[in-house]
Structure 1
Amino acid sequence: MQEKSKPMLKFRKILLRTVQVILAIILFAIGLLYVTGNSYIIRGVKLTYLKGHNTANIDDYKDFDNNVILSYKPQPWIEHDLYNKIELTDTLKAELERFQSIGFFVAKDGKALLERYWDDYSADSHTNSFSMSKSVITMLLGKAIEQGYIKSLDQPITDFLPEFKDDEFGKKCTIGDLSAMTSGYDWREDYYLPLNPTAKAYYGSNIEKQMLSRSFIQEPGGNFNYLSGDTQLLAIVLQRAIGISVSQYLQEEFWQPMGMEKDAYWSKDRKDGMEKAYCCLNSNVRDFAKLGQLLLQKGNWNGKQILDSAFVQKMVTPNYKAFEKGQPARYGYSIWTDYEHQPNFYGLMGHLGQRVIVIPSENLVIVRLGHQKDNRQMGKGFLDNDTYYFVDEVMKMLKTNQLLNQQQHAQEITRTENSIP
């Protein structure tokens, strides 16, 4: 018995020593993360990999502190005569299901035409808009300019961010540069690599300090370079200019005046901290669709001008000077655009395929929310592959049901001609 127990005892000692070494390495790594200011990685690992994800997910607002944006006197969508009577094309249905969509909504001529949900999600669900929030921040910027808190898009950011008054490039940056993504700010846009500023902004606990401690590395006003840091800086400008949080401002100037159907949640870095403005406005398909409808209606809502029409036009017009000759001009002021595709469209677009797509020629708004994005390169256009599926397949559905504007116009002409004696 003793002879047999010796190998077992030796094995246990080796195992114990191995576990001790592993624990020591883990503790050292954790300590190193704290010492180097990268402790946010611990939180990130806990909320992603340990939950079976490899990036942020649409439901993780529950893991963060949030500001609540209260609704007031909801104005539900008026339903179209054909509401939910139109079938999805097989191609669109396959696209939506393949990439784990949780909600799809179409509004035609200001009325709800189609609404679908998957996996127990509903109109009551709240999910993350991700970078669709960037468009919302610029809408708030337009309102702040209209109300005189900010002079114009050309105002220097140093009027509100004196932290950059000695920065060689930062002191030249305008508020418009932040919205148009032409700032020259030092940022790496990556939603998967743990050690980068985007991840730190998402999982860190002091986003304002992080933004203001970085610098500008290029001359502002140049080429388009998509940076979440730009939008977060813009939110800091807004907060300092108007004196309240961007959540409160959204509630007062848009959410309640537009009769949003549900409260919304804007995730923050910590309980007494700031909204993660470049992402993380959590709502539902119906209320996100209203944001698209507001842009479609050039800022007018039920006869009231919620947002200046000239500013809306500025948002949805490609910022041509930010793109080289031959490059597709795909971005305005925090709005993605494709005016080469037929039909033309623009939209709010976010990580993992969150979409609010506006097709002006058809008075059409399309919303898609879901877990994954279609990353395939299929040559449909210069924006993400899925946007073209949504646009083209919905257009087919409208055509089949004779709902396209040109079809309706032709029908009106025919009826008029037939009525002539």
Structure 2
Amino acid sequence: MKKAFQIFGVLVVIVLVYVVSVNYPKLELISGFSAKSVASAHFIDHRPLDLIEKSDNDIKLITLANNTIIEDENYATSSVFGLQKRKAIYREGLGSLLIDDDFDVSKPYLVPHRIQPKINFPYPLGTNEPKDSVFSNINYTQLKKAVDSAFDKENAFAKRTRSVLILHKNHLIIEKYADGFDKNSKILGWSMTKSLTATYFGILQHQGKLNINNPAPISEWKNDERSKITMHNLIQMNSGLAWEERYDKICDATKMLFNSRDMGKVQLEKPLAGKPNQTWNYSSGTSNLLSKILRQQFKTHQEYLDFWYTSLIDKIGMYSMIVETDMTGNYVGSSYAWATTRDWGKLGLLYLNNGNWLGEQIFDKSWSKYVSTPTPTSEGRYGGHFWLNSSGKYPDAPRDLYYASGFQGQKIFIIPSKDLVIVRMGLTDDENFDFNGFLKEVLGSFEK
């Protein structure tokens, strides 16, 4: 019997050693995700740690992390079983930053200069509270039922919607928030940030400062086949560059977001795996490379930091929005923009109005058509850093619908034919939330 216990003990140790050795590389990514998530949610949106752990960090494996917030020093730390401890610091104006051991926290840093005048119009075009608006073509009882159905009923935990907001003909017609969230709550857009990033190329092109059809200005590519890649190819995710984007394993995307100092450099260094304009491949690395290219358009880093706000974010009154940076100080154009649901709605409305905001053309009116035109080889699913419904992903919604989309079901649906913007923020995506059914119910409340 004693020998049997000894053998069993050895087997247990072997299994534990195997499990740890296989999963040890993941621990740094787990603790990195967790530390960044905790620091951002707490210091940007003032969420308590217990809420963050039960909601934002309620993800397989991420729940293994042990988290601590150091309030008076503005940082959070996370580790897994005491291993692979990571730290994320909060800096006013820049949000939170996941750092490595070599990062100099005492080094001075630049922050964007923001000008936020009162825009004396009701929301959504201005900064005043919205006015009550009644449209004769809307069945408001049916609309309320459709919006209510997007939220969990009491004690349920399936749909996990945090907010829904609907704009019609430049008016707010309905909004709803889950318990613990309201019109002032800042929510991470995740990959909706990609659509924001692409918008700056439309702005610069409208200003005559670049042409997206020109080759990407990357000196490292000038002597190989990558020199044929244009900014247009990058915006359409059709560059042919190698990239792996998965979140259930260690891959290019996870290593970039949680291990890289210069996130734009990761995609830059990848070889071709296909041909430009012939090989669509969704890539967060591409979006951060585009952010890096945007940096090259300005003489100083301060100008780059300011441009994101002065040309767009603060220009249209998205005053709650904050875009976080990587360790080089470049904006993480793939993933890290935070804003209230109302301000995310403004981004959708800008596109619905073809770039016009209170009479000023932010980008050329043709840019909305450009981003909503299918990318070659994407099977009609993707445009210019926006997802499309042209192939009928949502069969009960109009085919002209296009949308910004982020991890866990952050969505800005833009429907030109219905003059509608629909925003849904939450913690469940298409696998667990019936977006088609939701859109069908909402659209069914509008008379044809």
Q: Provide TM-score, normalisation by structure 2.
A: 0.70
How far the C-alpha of 1:315 sits from its partner, in A, is 1.3
Higher helix share: 1
Counterpart amino acid of 1:93?
A: D
Query: Residue 446 of structure 2: SS of its match in structure 1?
Result: helix
Equivalent residue, structure 1, for 2:269:
213
Q: Does residue 332 in structure 1 map to residue 338 in structure 2?
A: no
Equivalent residue, structure 2, for 1:72:
116
Distance of 1:29 and 1:369 partners within structure 2: 32
Equivalent residue, structure 2, for 1:388:
436
Give the counterpart of 2:175 among 91, 111, 115. Answer: 115
Q: Does residue 299 in structure 1 map to residue 355 in structure 2?
A: yes
Q: Does residue 265 in structure 1 map to residue 313 in structure 2?
A: no
Does structure 2 conserve the Cα–Cα contact (< 8 Å) formed by 1:55 and 1:192? no
Does structure 2 conserve the Cα–Cα contact (< 8 Å) formed by 1:105 and 1:116? yes
1:56-75 Cα deviation digits (max 9, x unpaired)? 89xx9985656267461244
Equivalent residue, structure 1, for 2:278:
222
How far the C-alpha of 1:90 sits from its partner, in A, is 4.5
Give the counterpart of 2:248 among 187, 192, 211. Answer: 192
Structure 1 residues 313 and 247, CA gap change in structure 2 (3 angstroms): farther
Does structure 2 conserve the Cα–Cα contact (< 8 Å) formed by 1:137 and 1:235? yes
Structure 1 residues 281 and 71, CA gap change in structure 2 (3 angstroms): farther
Distance of 2:32 and 2:313 partners within structure 1: 31
Alignment of 1:70-219 (within 5 A): 70=114, 72-75=116-119, 76-77=123-124, 78-82=130-134, 86=141, 88=143, 90=145, 92-97=147-152, 98-150=158-210, 152-157=211-216, 159=217, 161-168=218-225, 170-193=226-249, 195-206=250-261, 207-219=263-275
Does structure 1 conserve the Cα–Cα contact (< 8 Å) formed by 2:348 and 2:414? yes
Q: Does residue 253 in structure 1 map to residue 253 in structure 2?
A: no
How far the C-alpha of 1:318 sits from its partner, in A, is 2.3
Structure having the higher Rg: 1
Q: Does residue 53 in structure 1 map to residue 53 in structure 2?
A: no
Does structure 1 conserve the Cα–Cα contact (< 8 Å) formed by 2:295 and 2:330? no
Query: Residue 115 of structure 1: SS of its match in structure 2?
Result: strand
How far the C-alpha of 1:229 sits from its partner, in A, is 1.5
Distance of 2:61 and 2:286 partners within structure 1: 21
How far the C-alpha of 1:27 sits from its partner, in A, is 9.7
Structure 1 residues 131 and 155, CA gap change in structure 2 (3 angstroms): same
Query: Residue 151 of structure 2: SS of its match in structure 1?
Result: helix
> What are structure 1's unaligned runs of at least 5 residues?
1-6, 377-384, 400-405, 407-421
How far the C-alpha of 1:29 sits from its partner, in A, is 8.1
Does structure 2 conserve the Cα–Cα contact (< 8 Å) formed by 1:44 and 1:203? yes
Does structure 2 conserve the Cα–Cα contact (< 8 Å) formed by 1:144 and 1:242? no
Distance of 2:282 and 2:19 partners within structure 1: 37
Query: Residue 116 of structure 1: SS of its match in structure 2?
Result: strand
Distance of 1:182 and 1:74 partners within structure 2: 40
Counterpart amino acid of 2:131?
A: E
How far the C-alpha of 1:39 sits from its partner, in A, is 5.0
Structure 1 residues 47 and 239, CA gap change in structure 2 (3 angstroms): closer
How far the C-alpha of 1:316 sits from its partner, in A, is 1.9
> What are structure 2's unaligned runs of at least 5 residues?
38-51, 64-68, 70-74, 77-87, 96-111, 125-129, 153-157
Counterpart amino acid of 2:385?
A: S
Counterpart amino acid of 2:423?
A: V
Equivalent residue, structure 1, for 2:419:
363
Query: Which structure carries more relative contact order (alpha carbon 8 Å, separation 6+)?
Result: 1
1:149-176 Cα deviation digits (max 9, x unpaired)? 32x222111x2x11222343x2211111
Equivalent residue, structure 1, for 2:445:
397
Distance of 2:237 and 2:444 partners within structure 1: 34
1:359-381 Cα deviation digits (max 9, x unpaired)? 112211110101111315xxxxx
